[in-house]
Amino acid sequence: MNKMKEYLKKLFKGEISLFISFWFLFIGLSFFLEIFFQPEFNQNPFVHNDLLEFLLFFLMLIYAILIFMIIFKSANNYKGSKLWSFLAKTMVTINLFFSLSFSIDTIKFYFLEDYAIEKEIEDFKTSLPIQVDSLSVLIDIYKKNKTIFYNYQLFDVSLEKDVDKNKFKKQIQNSLCEDESSLNLLKKDYILNYEYINEKEEKVIIIQTNKENCGKSIYDLEILNEVLEKQKML
């Protein structure tokens, strides 16, 4: 234990060689953490818990700050090439900058609801267009204030008659009122705006859905989940 304390004191005083500090504690450990956080290498369900995930990102920020201090002290005490000392300082400074930037985004994602939704939409947009089924393609999605816009293109679908439009609208709204992710947005007072165009890129129909369209049944799924959770505990 005393040896560990002595080693840590030397580490933070910059008395450990720059070679060890840089290549093992910075490059080596950073590489390991990068692999650990890759989804394909990390299948542990506990790590995907939101609170634990946030704490892990917070610890990574602490690590970035500490390694910055350690490398700077070690580089200042380095007796060799000034260029090597400068490069080590530069790389660890860049690492700290990106870590701080990423941490700010992470804090916004977990604590600012609108930012989290906007970020998810931005990430989802990179995979567009998406073939939803044989008759429709999702071509765009974006958010403006409390409204999320979904733009679809329809193929071989005739909605010229009002009866057909009303039937189509009811089908879409019913599906949204039964979908858990859509319900979560509606319960937070978001409006889901679905706009459809045809093969000629002409507007066919616009369907706006809010929580009032789902009625009291909007909370049925939530109640059902609570009942199921209670049954599991028995």
pLDDT, residue 71, reads 95
Selected residue with higher pLDDT from 155 and 1? 155
At residue 147 the predicted structure's pLDDT band, cuts being 50, 70 and 90, is: very high
Average pLDDT over residues 120-141: 93
State pLDDT tens for residues 33-47.
777 766 544 444 444
Q: What is the mean pLDDT of the chain?
A: 84
The predicted structure's pLDDT at residue 40: 46
Burial class (CB in 10 A: 0-12, 13-18, 19+), 90: exposed
% pLDDT > 90, the chain: 49
- Residue 126 confidence (pLDDT): 92
Residue 42 makes CB contacts below 8 A (sequence gap 6+) with: 36
Which pLDDT value is given to residue 220? 57
* pTM for this entry: 0.57
19-33, 99-113, 136-150: range with lowest mean pLDDT = 99-113
CB 173 within 8 A of CB 215: no
More confident residue, 92 or 156: 92
Q: What is the pLDDT of residue 44?
A: 47
pLDDT of residue 107: 78
| pLDDT bracket for residue 171 (50, 70, 90) | very high
Give residue-wise pLDDT tens across range 52-78. 777 778 888 899 999 999 999 999 999
